[in-house]
Amino acid sequence: MKSMKLFTWFCLSASLGIAQPASAQVKEVSSPEVLIATQWTLDAAGTTQRNSIKSVFLLVCPRTEKKGTSFLLSDGLVVSNEHVVEGCAANELEALKPTGETVRFKGLVVDTERDLALLLPVEKIAGGLELGNDSALPIGTVVTTWGFPLIYNGPAQAK
């Protein structure tokens, strides 16, 4: 909760031009390509959330102009939907990481019945999400989803 309050303070103070106290300074952006809103989200998030945020990509097929959410698994594969990659070859697809980097692919497998696509990046990507194996989560379990609704192009949004 404290990190959310701090994040809110950063957003409000930045938009109003209020100087921030030294103890609440935003960390320096690690890369010039990282959007400041993304950096603030990363700074405000805990370790687990930070890994989740960094594992959600915007997948783009320039030829068909389709865009959608994809996410990195800990084994290095990227998962998306078949309807996002439909009409594109693996080497035509691009995933945009929250850090501003572009990921290219060398392999693609689709399952049209399940609307799934698995992509193999050209280079191994560190991090990623572990898929759970619990098929019976207790009612009331807190979950968070991240993605790019309606081809939103900014930082991944939480739902």
Q: Specify the long-range contacts of residues 26-32, CB closer than 8 Å, at least 24 apart.
A: 30/99, 31/99, 31/100, 32/100
pLDDT tens per residue, the chain (159 residues)? 444 433 333 333 343 333 434 333 333 334 446 777 777 777 777 777 887 888 999 999 999 999 999 999 999 999 999 999 999 999 999 999 888 889 999 999 999 999 999 999 999 999 998 887 777 888 888 777 777 766 555 555 554
**pTM of the entire structure?**
0.68
- Which residues belong to CATH 2.40.10.10 in the chain? 56-121
Specify whether the CB–CB gap between 27 and 146 falls below 8 A.
no
What pLDDT, on the 0 to 100 scale, is given for residue 94? 96
- Region 56-121: CATH code: 2.40.10.10
Alpha carbon distance 85, 66 (integer Å): 7
- In terms of Cβ atoms closer than 10 Å to its own Cβ (0-12, 13-18, 19+), residue 97 is buried
